[in-house]
Structure 1
Amino acid sequence: MKAAPDAQRRLLDLQAVDTALNQLAHRRKSLPELAEIDTVSRELSALEDERVRAQVAVDDLDRDITRFERDIEQVRTRKDRDQARLDAGGALREIEGLQHELATLNRRQGELEDAELELMEKRETAEQTLNEIKKRISDALERRGAAEARRDAANADITKEQEFKTQSRGPLANDLPQDLVQLYDKIRANTGLGAALVRAGRCGGCRIELYGADLNRVKAAKPDEVVRCEECSRIMIRTNESGL
């Protein structure tokens, strides 16, 4: 393939734009906020598991406390009924039986109230744990929201730069021979770099120094001949800096 030396040199301008676009794409994928968002999201997932377990613990205690309250109320109702019967008087055997049952009910009520108090203390601790987890979730959500806002702002800046670079690329590529641009694009798609400056006898793509037959081949090539590197296949752009 042949192309005017000036057209070949302008491939470096096209490559500079494409390199900038690649860097912007890489920058978008490697924003520090992405890693932060991922870390906080995993933290939130773990915290949500903790919250569910803590909520279940509180709910279980609430259910147990409700059951104790119901049992205590039943004992109180039974005591009131027995006390009413005792106050009404009756046979000595019946009175003794009622007094014995009231003593038993008082002990039972005390045991139930002590157990209920213990559960209520446990519930207070469990609720405190649940509230602490909710606070940590709230803090994590705030941190993730801030990171997402920074990510979105950075992406907006990158998009603006990409649009500017893309707009400048079109006229530049259209002003070059299309067969040269097609070759350049094909090489760039495979290697990430379509054209490279030869400087001081070294290919700017693979950084390998030219020597022997390869050096003679490049030296002998006419200025309008499109020369490619034997090692990396990039189009080698020759200028006064090439040392050939």
Structure 2
Amino acid sequence: MTTSRSSLPALLELQAVDSRLLTRLARAKELQTSEHVAALMARRTQAIAAARELDAAVGQAQDAVQQAEATVVEIQTRIDRDTERLNAGGTSKDLMGIQHQIETLTAQRERAEEAQLQAMDHAEEVAADRERKQPLLRAADAEARAAVAERDAELARLKEEHARLTAERDRRASAITDSPLLRRYDRLRNARGGGRIAVARYENGTCGACGTRLSPADAAALEATPDTAIPQCPECSAMLVL
């Protein structure tokens, strides 16, 4: 079956649309598998975990302060109660026992107050550490969110462009009445994993599809292709518009 070359210019325009579609798909895949975004998201996950650890450390330190304060209050309450008993009077032996108990409790209170001060100092250090680190953690979170938002916005634009180009491709393909030639074009384009250039211009002895500069003999044979046949690159098999 002979095929007319008259549809080649229309195929060339269709090829341009298909190439743009392929570019959009490749860019979308690149965005979806972006190592940069993945690294920022991993960093954000680490930052969130670190922030939670800092919050937990602050909470534990505050609990320790409250427990230390409660211990001091409890000991002071016992001292106050024993002091009241001491002031109420009693036998010499009882008063000596109460006094000894007050002295023991006073020593315990001093140790508890020291522990309270240490707990307060630790709580301040932990809180200050969180304050120092929070800006960096927030920055990591914000940077990741911005990168994801930028990626998603571009993906949305690519989706719109893909839909528009798909509609344009359908219109151009339906306008080509030479069905065998169109099927031949699609076979060439989808061969070897797809994405090939199936039709291109032949200029200055060079194939516009693969960039091969033909030898004088190959160029002469190509240029002598009968009008009833489609010129084809001897290297990549692309159909050529002379």
Per the normalisation by structure 2, the TM-score is 0.83
Tell me how far apart the structure 2 counterparts of residues 183 and 175 of structure 1 sit (CA, whole Å): 16
Unmatched tracts of structure 2, length 5 or more:
none
Q: Distance in 2 between matches of 1:143 and 1:56?
A: 24
| Residue type of the alignment partner of 1:220 | A
**Bigger CA drift: 194-203 or 219-228?**
219-228
Contact 1:14 1:169 in 2 (8 A): yes
- In the other structure, the counterpart of 1:4 is 4
* C-alpha deviation, 1:112, in angstroms: 0.8
- Letter matched to residue 201 of structure 1: G
- Deviation string, structure 1 residues 154-180 (Cα, Å, up to 9, x no partner): 334333333332222222212221221
Structure 1 match to 2:73? 73
Counterparts in 2 of 1:114 and 1:173: CA distance versus 1, 3 Å? same
Residues 65-111 of structure 1: CA deviation (Å, up to 9, x unaligned): 33323322331222122212211222333323322322221121111
SS at match of 1:71: helix
AA aligned opposite 2:227: P
Letter in 1 for 2:228: D
Equivalent residue, structure 2, for 1:223: 227
Question: C-alpha distance in 2, partners of 1:147/1:23?
Answer: 21
TM-score (norm 1): 0.82
Q: Give the count of matched residue pairs.
A: 237
Per the alignment, residue 20 of structure 2 pairs with 20
Q: Is the 8 A contact 1:37 1:147 kept in 2?
A: yes
Percent identity between matched residues is: 27
Q: How does 1:60-209 map to 2 (within 5 A)?
A: 60-176=60-176, 177-190=178-191, 191-192=194-195, 193-209=197-213
> Could you report, residue by residue, the CA deviation over 1:107-132 in whole angstroms, capped at 9, with x for unpaired residues?
21111112112111211221233345
Could you list the per-position Cα deviations for residues 185-221 of structure 1 after superposition, in whole angstroms to 9, with x for gaps in the alignment?
A: 2221235211122221122222122226544542332
Q: Which residue of 2 aligns with 1:232?
A: 236
Letter in 2 for 1:200: N
Structure 1: which 5+ runs fail to align? 240-244
